[in-house]
């Protein structure tokens, strides 16, 4: 068992446990010091079929009444109407501020459970049990929660720190290769913005990750978490430095939405990082060789670096409605150089158009 701790000034610290089984979960919950009377495990049907039984068996040793609430799988169900169904379930089962929500699933389940925890009775505790590589390296920590609204991604949300994060690396064995690739995109992103050495290490990790070597997975996940931990502790509410974690997400989110979510989040982030890297190159912030190394690493992890199935005007329109807009200014994250990111508020539509055109070009042989 490996353990890290997130220590945000003015907020309770919380641990992150890296394990390869569920059996330590009750003791880790007990170590939080809270005596919960009721626990609601929030999950989706696919995850429930794989891990609900094991988690409930582990929780049988925890002195609380256990309930399960299932949300249909997929981004299409990350909605206020689903949150309302969860609120109603909690009310019907008399959940109060002495009780706990557990998010068992990937980023969608984590975001929704956290949002419900932030808003039900003005706030109850929740715990993250992330089951995808993407949620383990990124979305399960930091306290961002939210839901989509109409065609706006994550526009409604709240900051709510979990009481703990319990990562069972063994669940990654059940992930399709495409989902492992999606998680690798966020890990590579962390190296791009904060740590060139970690960027290089993700390349050396990639084959072992896909072959499921637990020690390598633990090193990868811990490396990403340490980068995000530092950023979150410095800027818990995204007033400045934390915005750097959005590298690749401005264009990526627009592509993800316009694809009808046929692109995974990680695939969209890969494309968004390449596009932002292209803008960085055009500004002479980033060397062409550095962009080429990024593209090579994304590609080696099974991620797209070129994509043409989009309408440029719709992408530009979606970017204008991005939640990172402040007034008429868009906060865009660029690399200056690889391993160091900065916030730019003067990226032009022409630069974005050129970067989108770059995504449609054939790769060099």
Q: What does DSSP say about strands 152-159 and 65-70: parallel, antiparallel, or unpaired?
A: unpaired
Residues 6 or more apart in contact with residue 150 via CB below 8 angstroms = none
249 is catalytic: yes
Distances (CA, A) of 322 to 24, 142, 309, 316: 40, 20, 20, 10
Q: Which of 35, 92, 122, 361 is catalytic?
A: 122
Distances (CA, A) of 363 to 152, 245, 287, 307: 31, 27, 17, 10
Q: What does DSSP say about strands 100-105 and 125-130: parallel, antiparallel, or unpaired?
A: parallel
283 is catalytic: no
Q: What does DSSP say about strands 14-19 and 2-6: parallel, antiparallel, or unpaired?
A: antiparallel
Handedness of CA 82, 67, 53, 164 (dihedral sign): positive
331 is catalytic: no
Q: Which of 160, 253, 257, 278 is catalytic?
A: 253
Whole-angstrom Cα distance, residue 98 to residue 113? 16
65 is catalytic: no
Q: Which of 246, 267, 290, 331 is catalytic?
A: 246
Q: Which of 78, 153, 163, 265 is catalytic?
A: 265
Q: In the chain, what is the straight-line distance between the N-terminal and C-terminal CA atoms, in Å? A: 44
Q: Which of 153, 160, 189, 228 is catalytic?
A: 228
Which of 91, 141, 143, 82 is CA-nearest to residue 120?
91
Q: Which of 163, 189, 249, 257 is catalytic?
A: 249
Q: Where are the beta strands (DSSP E) in 183-270?
A: none
350 is catalytic: no
246 is catalytic: yes
306 is catalytic: no
Q: Which of 160, 163, 229, 242 is catalytic?
A: 242
Q: Which of 144, 153, 194, 331 is catalytic?
A: 144
153 is catalytic: no
Q: Which of 153, 160, 194, 238 is catalytic?
A: 238
Catalytic residue annotation: 122, 144, 186, 228, 238, 242, 246, 249, 253, 265
């Amino acid at each position: 068992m490996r353990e890290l701790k997130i220590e945000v000034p003015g907020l309770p610290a919380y641990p992150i446990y890296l394990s390869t089984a569920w059996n330590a979960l009750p003791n880790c919950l007990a170590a939080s010091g809270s005596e919960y009377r009721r626990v609601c495990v929030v999950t989706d049907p696919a995850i429930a079929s794989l891990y609900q039984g094991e988690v409930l068996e582990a929780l049988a040793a925890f002195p609380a009444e256990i309930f399960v609430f299932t949300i249909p799988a997929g981004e299409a169900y990350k909605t206020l109407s689903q949150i309302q169904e969860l609120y109603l379930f909690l009310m019907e089962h008399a959940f109060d501020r002495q009780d706990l929500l557990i998010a068992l699933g990937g980023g969608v389940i984590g975001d929704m459970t956290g949002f419900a925890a932030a808003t039900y009775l003005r706030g109850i505790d929740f715990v993250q049990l992330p089951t995808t590589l993407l949620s383990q390296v990124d979305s399960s920590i930091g306290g961002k929660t939210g839901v989509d609204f109409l065609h706006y991604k994550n526009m409604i949300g709240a900051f709510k720190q979990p009481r703990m994060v319990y990562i069972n690396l063994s669940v990654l064995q059940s992930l399709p290769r495409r989902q492992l690739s999606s998680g690798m995109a966020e890990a590579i992103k962390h190296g791009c913005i904060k740590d060139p050495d970690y960027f290089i290490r993700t390349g050396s990790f990639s084959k072992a990750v896909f072959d499921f070597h637990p020690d390598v997975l633990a090193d990868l996940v811990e490396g990403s978490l340490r980068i995000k931990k530092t950023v979150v502790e410095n800027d818990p509410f995204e007033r400045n430095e934390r915005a750097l974690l959005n590298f690749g997400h401005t264009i990526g989110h627009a592509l993800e939405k316009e694809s009808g979510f046929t692109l995974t989040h990680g695939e969209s982030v890969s494309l968004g990082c390449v596009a932002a890297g292209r803008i960085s190159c055009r500004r002479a912030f980033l060397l062409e060789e550095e962009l080429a190394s990024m593209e090579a690493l994304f590609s080696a992890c099974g991620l797209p670096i070129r994509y043409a199935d989009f309408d440029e005007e719709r992408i530009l329109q979606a970017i204008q409605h991005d939640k990172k807009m402040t007034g008429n200014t868009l906060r865009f994250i660029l690399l200056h150089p690889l391993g160091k990111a900065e916030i730019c508020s003067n990226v032009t539509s022409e630069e974005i158009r050129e970067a989108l055109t770059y995504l449609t070009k054939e790769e060099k042989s």
